[in-house]
Structure 1
Amino acid sequence: MHLLDTITMASVTAEDIKCELDTFNIAFNNDTVDKSKCQVFLCCFNFLQGPRWTGKGQSAVRVEMLEGGENSLISSYKYMFQRLRDVRDVLTEKIEELGEELRSHFNIEEFSPVSLPVQDSITVLGQVCCDSNGKLNTQSVLLEAGQEQGGRQVPVDLSELKEFSLFPGQVVVMEGMNPSGERFVATKLYEGIPLPFYCPSEGKQEMDEVSEPVMVMMACGPYTPSESLTYDPLIDLITIINKDRPDMCILFGPFVDSKHEQIEKNQVTETFENIFKRCVDSIVEGTKGSGCRLVFVPSQRDVHHHYIYPQPPFNLSNLSKDDSARVTLAPDPCTLLIGNVTFGLTSTDILFHMGAEEISSGTGTERFSRIMKHMLTQRSYYPLYPPAEEVNMDYDKFQQFGQMNLTPDILIVPSELRYFIKDVIGCVCVNPGRLTKGQVGGTYGRLLIQPNPVLVEGKRVSPCIAGQVVKI
């Protein structure tokens, strides 16, 4: 009997999950059925005729935390003590750092105080916030300056802007006038600037022996249907891993979902830690023959794990030496280096959280692309402030471990919202969806990547050869 088959509970009514679904423009977004393999491809990226969606289980694929050493979150930490002054300092530093980058890029001489009464056009720097506890709208936008510009808040009139996309916590540079000192009339909004991509040293390129395309599979929990705590969808995924033999499989939590009705009603008969151990043991043992490298990323919905952001990695002290060699325990969020390709990973539903707060007009782009672009240009895995109520943010650790040090080649952001794969300013952004949706199977994603990216005529070429979101 499979280890997961022993975790059986009484059936419960499926929880109603209200998910907001967006339309998106992407080639081949209609369902494509591979009848020979009984697979339904829900969306494709860089569609190729007859790509080989099988890996070789290449244990030679190198996986490491990009930051490394003291700059990586590798163990648990103390939390639940945070001073408002410390939060202010983190936000102020963020405003000043991004402001200096924008000032240098756009050759701006200096920033004026946002509350300065002046008849001429001035350029100001600040953070977008809302004038109340409600949702941001065009009439409630405030611009809060950093300490160097006086730290004042001023209402912003957006009526003169032809296009804009704003959310609370966004650091922006605006041009406009403030005749009375009480209301800033914005006439220009400067575009954010992303960080450069990773450029491996010659030594690292020589170290990586893998030259053929690498297949990376990704899936996000919950891994159980809403009616019970049987891990049938996960067993199906393990079967697919053994059949397709991906070189790498990235598994996002929740593995033991705090939102599952049986857990909420305390109807389980064993500890959460024991359920999690059975789940992980089944994944590791069940995929051993495939040679697939495994990456585990926790979620704040994992009921047995630390309920804090950034979230430390799991502790799997019971793994054997051989199993530990092919398992990577990553924090949320993190930047991984797979071969010479950078992967940005986060299990926190930033798409859902920012989608509920963002306002826009005249941008001509769909919402998912705008949110992904905001993450890349704000250089943060969670640029929203204040965060959603369900996110317990430790700002000191967030400053250390929640920022992007570069623009990842591939950014994976699982969400309740509709799956997608899209190129956003050179970064391939993927929402693989969730492995279960209520009582039915959901989706997972897979990518073919070139582990040693090349330059064509001196220009960077995306390492992502092809991508798909597949129905389980």
Structure 2
Amino acid sequence: MSSPEDLAEKFGELPDEVMAELQNMLRIYNIDAEELFFKWEEYCLKMGEDIKLNMKNITAFKDDAREQFEIEMRAKSKSAQAPATRGAQRGAKSAGDVFNMLDGLTPATPRSSGPNVARRKFEKAGYETPLAERTSKLAVGSSPVGPGPGFRTPGAVTSIPFRNRTDPGKVMEVLNPNIEVPHLPLPDYPGYQPRTQLTVRVKPINFQYKPMYQKLSAGSQYLDDQIEEYAAAIQEEHNISIDDFCNPCSRLPEEVVVVGRIVTDVMDSQKRSNEASLLLEASRGTGEGGRVRLDLSALKGYAFFPGMLVAFKALNPTGDKLLVKSILDPPRYYAAASKPDDMEDELQKLSAGNFNVFVASGPYTPDENLDFEGLTELVDKIVETEPDVVFLSGPFIDTAHPKVKLGDFPVDMNTFSGYVLEDLFKAKITSQLNRITKSLILLVPSTRDAVSKHVSFPQDRFQRKLLGLQSNVQLLTNPSMLTINEIQFGISTADILFHLNMQEVKATGKGIEMNTFHRLANYVISSSHFYPLFPAPEASQVGYTTPIDLQWMRLADFPDNVKPDVLILPSNLPGTVKVVNGVVTINPGFMSTKRTAGTYAFMTIESPEKVLAEENVVPAPSADFTLKRRIYNRARVEIRRI
């Protein structure tokens, strides 16, 4: 069992009574401090908010842990008990074939004749459930549509009614508070059309592939090409000769450069990767696709995740373990820039005032109802303030929602189109979006959207006709990179931040970013890829499945390896905003958590007037002359409670 020092290392300094409760949990469940800390993190994520470790919250945490433990024990006992009982009965009565291999495969054919046959039939009948009993259990208090009135999902958290939510409208975090929020709607606001020019930087037609129909050879080739391309980028970044790259799986008595992908040999999905489980996978060209275990003891600090492409200076004296001496910095990717003429056009477009954006992400309603009160409240604010652009990302009709899974919602047969879930979308979502007339709405699907024909990531757009969407709604792929005027946005609804947080292996030390959000977001930006993690976590780890079409993952690359000005990564983690690697990175949070109403983001961006003035721009000396947009200095971003 872990010591109080181990608990203090994981949880920090705590009051004595809280520390005593944590030690008590270690004894009860026979776990170590690290596993208890993981359970605390999962509990905080499930509650959807930051929670302090005090006696009130530790008591609720203990109750939740006990409930989850009892559910796991009941499931294990059921799965272990029933097969063992049947096996023991067959063994006791065995008198037939060798090792009883055919026992039970032909129940209608007696193994032998004689008086024992009738007795065996009688004994067998005693263990079968009569049909009447089974049907009566289904008939009482049930319906083909949904559960009975007393049904409650085990482990479910009772949500707070939307009208009783705490601190509505409260600003949780602000980026660049020195920039004033304009009074909205802007005076003489003409609508989004003259102020907004949208250019999508991905080709939607490429996303119209047949989902989940991948070839293993194509996926394998993609993974191999990733390593080779990364090696070429490292060679250019650090000016290293191609002859200096070596096979990490061979004997290397001297320090050399090796390139590969981080993988883990942890097979149990319930356990997290650790330092001892990490290996480096080489490409087929350099190392015949081999893997070698890593020795990270020489590093003062590190942070890795499965699927991460890395370059090391290392040696391998025995050929069995790669001793890593240092980590080479990843290739640098540059932000897009604008020509002075484009900035002048932007300045004219925004003559009425700042460029204003709302960002929100689903789920938009709690597990207990399909009222979408949070979405209604958000649309009320949008109609009132008339921003230029509204980003809305899925899931909208969540496949994980209990009422959607059970079909527990009414269907209006007078307007029934033949598509039940699409009609539900039109009734709950489209009806609200149609109220917005002066803003450009950008819809991004999620792999959890029940109305999406495309079930895997990367994901195609929604179908406009089936959802009855109006003309000011633009449908985007997932992920998507787009330019609005001279500002480049990137957005993805695959919860890469939460997934990375669950899979990351790190040791704090020199050069390791301590802020979790900053570190996780930088993984995405420095890899120039919306989903650098591989493989995706299982449902037992994060609560749902993220289907990945590996052979099409190039569609998740940043176009031209150019960083966006604004990166939107909705996540189950608490909403926040940071400037990461020169990119304004926004997690708006979810509009609704399992327990209460959530958060959204509001952004206002100043015109490029100051940029043009500071650069003393004159007619451009050449067609290639560009200016940095510096959105990280021009944008105020607020994370607000709905």
TM-score tier (shorter): 0.7 to 0.9
Question: Residue 436 of structure 2 corresponds to which residue in structure 1?
Answer: 287
Correspondence 1:275 to 2:424:
yes
- State TM-score, norm by structure 2: 0.64
Equivalence for 2:99: none
SS of the residue corresponding to residue 51 of structure 1 reads coil
Question: Cα–Cα, structure 1 residues 260 and 354, in superposed 2: closer, same or farther, change >3 Å?
Answer: same
Corresponding letter in the other structure for 1:317:
K
CA apart distance, 1:201: 4.5
Question: Does 2:284 correspond to 1:142?
Answer: no
Separation of aligned partners in 2, 1:119 and 1:45: 50
Q: In the superposition, relative to structure 1, how do residues 139 and 320 fare at CA in structure 2: closer, same or farther (>3 Å)?
A: closer
Q: What is the percent sequence identity of the aligned residues?
A: 28
Give the equivalent residue in structure 2 for 1:317.
Answer: 465
Aligned counterpart, 1:328? 474
Structure-2 separation of matches of 1:49 and 1:89 = 48
1:161 paired to 2:291 = no
Q: Secondary structure at the match of 2:193?
A: coil
Aligned residues of 2:460 and 2:478 also touching (Cα < 8 A)? yes
Q: Name whichever of 85-94 and 449-458 sits farther off.
A: 449-458
Which has more strand, going by share of residues?
1
Residue 555 (structure 2) aligns with: 400
Question: Within 2, Cα distance between the matches of 1:53 and 1:180?
Answer: 68
Give the drift of 1:54.
2.7
Secondary structure in 2 aligned to 1:303? coil
d(CA) in 2 for partners of 1:53, 1:196: 34
| Alignment-derived partner of residue 130 in structure 2 | none
1:435 to 1:411, Cα distance in 2 relative to 1, 3 A: same
Displacement of 1:39 in angstroms is 2.6
Query: Which residue type is aligned with residue 239 of structure 2?
Result: N
> 1:256 touches 1:276 (CA, 8 Å); kept in 2?
yes
- How has the CA–CA distance of structure 1 residues 104 and 469 changed in structure 2, closer, same or farther, with 3 Å as cutoff? same
User: Residues of 1 paired with 2:298 and 2:591: CA distance?
Assistant: 44
Match of 1:133 among 267, 270, 275: 267
Report the Cα offset of residue 136 of structure 1.
2.0
Answer yes or no: is the 8 Å Cα contact 2:195–2:349 preserved in 1: yes
2:631 is equivalent to residue 462 of structure 1: yes
Structure number having the greater helix percentage: 2
Can you give the 5+ residue segments of structure 2 that lack an aligned partner in the other structure? 1-42, 52-166, 412-419, 539-544, 616-626
Match of 1:440 among 584, 589, 596: 596
Shift of 1:40: 0.7
Q: Can you list the C-alpha shifts for 1:200-256, whole angstroms capped at 9, x where unaligned?
A: 346654654423420110111111222111121111111110122111100011111
Q: 1:369 aligns with which of 503, 510, 518?
A: 518
Opposite residue 630 of structure 2, the aligned amino acid is: V
Matched, 1:89 2:221: yes
Name the CA distance, whole Å, in 2 between partners of 1:303 and 1:459: 41
Residue 584 (structure 2) pairs with residue 428 (structure 1): yes
Structure 2 counterpart of 1:360, one-letter code = K
- Give the alignment partner of residue 301 of structure 1, picking from 448, 466, 476: 448
The answer to whether the aligner puts 1:178 opposite 2:178 as a matched pair is no
Give the match for residue 359 of structure 1. Answer: 505
Aligned-partner SS, 2:481: strand
Deviations 1:111-143 (A, max 9, x none): 111012122111100000002324321111100
Measured in 2, the distance between the counterparts of 1:242 and 1:438 equals 27
Distance 2:283 2:551 in 1: 18
Q: Distance in 1 between matches of 2:587 and 2:345?
A: 31
Q: Which residue of 1 aligns with 2:81?
A: none
- Checking the alignment, whether the CA contact within 8 Å between 1:144 and 1:154 is kept in structure 2 is yes
Question: Residues 339 and 452 of structure 1 are in contact (CA less than 8 Å); yes or no, is this contact kept in structure 2?
Answer: no
AA of the residue aligned to 1:466: R
Q: Give the secondary-structure state (helix, strand or coil) at the position aligned to 1:177.
A: strand
- What SS does the aligned partner of 2:338 have? coil
Q: Contact between 2:357 and 2:388, CA under 8 Å: does it hold in 1?
A: yes
2:573 to 417, 420, 431: 417
Once the two structures are superposed, what CA deviation does each residue of 1:240-277 show, in whole Å capped at 9, x if it has no partner? Answer: 10122111100011111111111122212331111112
The 1-side partners of 2:308 and 2:168 are apart by: 44
Aligned twin of 1:240: 381
Matched-pair contact (CA < 8 Å) for 2:422–2:467: no
Q: Is structure 2 residue 261 aligned with structure 1 residue 105?
A: no
CA displacement, residues 384-424 of structure 1 (integer Å, 9 cap, x when unaligned): 00112311111232213444531111111111111110010
Cα RMSD, aligned residues only: 2.6
CA contact (8 A) 1:130 1:136 kept: yes
Q: CA separation in 1, counterparts of 2:259 and 2:408?
A: 52
Question: TM-score under structure 1 normalisation?
Answer: 0.86
Unaligned runs of 5+ in 1: 1-14, 24-36
**8 Å contact kept, 1:381–1:404:** no
Q: Deviations 1:308-350 (Å, cap 9, x if unpaired)?
A: 11111111126889x31x2210011011111111111011111
Q: Among 346, 361, 373, which residue is 1:220 paired with?
A: 361
Summarize deviations over 1:354-402 as a string: whole Å, max 9, x none: 1100111221422211111110111110000011231111123221344
Is the CA contact (8 Å cut-off) linking 1:339 and 1:451 kept in structure 2?
no
Matching residue's letter, 1:128: I
2:46 is the alignment partner of 1:18? yes
Q: Which residue of 2 aligns with 1:210?
A: 349
Greater gyration radius: 2
Higher RCO structure, 1 or 2 (CA under 8 Å, sep 6+): 1
> In 2, Cα distance between the equivalents of 1:371 and 1:461?
22
- Contact residue 457 and residue 478 of structure 2 kept, 8 A: yes
Separation in structure 2 between the aligned mates of residue 403 and residue 356 of structure 1, nearest angstrom: 24
The Cα shift of 1:167 comes to: 0.3
Secondary structure, in 3 states, of the residue corresponding to 2:229? helix
Aligned: 1:382 with 2:534: no
Distance in 1, matches of 2:183 and 2:50, equals: 28
